[in-house]
Structure 1
């Protein structure tokens, strides 16, 4: 059974995650997180003794889990890797456009703002990106791509999606994400076809 304290801690991380997306890491104050989470005043330092940095790490870890879940659900509901990636990008497009282009990837936000300032936050972002690359690589390997090429292509896929989210927000259009989906899916199909020829 989840305790009240655990629920408060999770709520604080969720609020931090959402506020990072809309206001940035630097623009998100602890009072704003407390208010957004409707949490007791002293709860942040009780659950996160190291303050904003620790809360930021928790938010990045939560974002990592959410995107991993999105990848696994897409993989389970589609027939191949390229369709799974299309499904992931379609889901992201819905999130971005549904928020009136206010929500993006919190991990990229934290990386850009804090990567040179906090080694702990930078490493949390590395871990998040690595988890997504690993999940995408597993998906590609299941489609027949060898491990080395799967890792390389998965890195391209994640990097392309990250860039497309940023450009979509800037343009206030999901067209960059749609274009990314087409190009990435074509790359995956091409690599999968090559893998099939060599087997």
Structure 2
């Protein structure tokens, strides 16, 4: 749906608070009545549904990358390459599709906080599954998955501010060393 797509783009590029419903309607080319017809909860419902939609896309991306990857370090390289290409293509205006909305609204909006929490857990489970498939110890997999995602998420913010792939590339290099230097059989 064009309203959600355009809302998500505006939210991640300029922030939730700075994006008005009229701006979303104009970007989507939609009449005003359609906003409240499809989103009776107004802007908060749009934010919630935009996070849900973006989170599903990221989940599918993580799953596909995990299936293609030869090992955890390869997964990191593939994910960072995908993010770097996407961010560069946007002129470094895009970042994580849910971070901006969550930073502005969690924990104040229970609805937005809940979908953001679920998104992060789904992403962690996808990365954890990939780690386990490659022999990572089960007791360490959840924390390692979170570390990978949090490190890359932080690097995305730095890359956006720097308008450069360097933070993401540095992040990938260090994660690659950490993952490659860890022999799961020794845990």
TM-score (norm 2): 0.94
Flag the structure with more relative contact order, 1 or 2, with Cα contacts below 8 A and sequence separation at least 6: 2
Distance in 2, matches of 1:163 and 1:104, equals 10
Unmatched tracts of structure 1, length 5 or more: 1-9
Q: How many residues align?
A: 187
Which of 170, 173, 176 is the matching residue for 2:167?
176
Post-superposition offset of 1:170: 0.9
Post-superposition offset of 1:82: 1.5
Match in the other structure for 1:34: 25
Give SS of 1:163's match: helix
Match in the other structure for 2:186: 197
Further displaced range: 149-158 or 182-191 = 182-191
What do residues 1-29 of structure 1 show as CA deviations (whole Å, max 9, x unaligned)? Answer: xxxxxxxxx22111111111111111111
Q: Spell out the pairing of 1:14-163 with structure 2 (5 A cutoff).
A: 14-163=5-154
Unmatched tracts of structure 2, length 5 or more: none
Post-superposition offset of 1:50: 0.3
Give SS of 2:32's match: coil
How well do the aligned residues superpose, as a CA RMSD in angstroms? 1.3
TM-score (norm 1): 0.89
Post-superposition offset of 1:119: 1.7
Post-superposition offset of 1:148: 2.0
Distance in 2, matches of 1:93 and 1:169, equals 10
Give SS of 2:158's match: helix
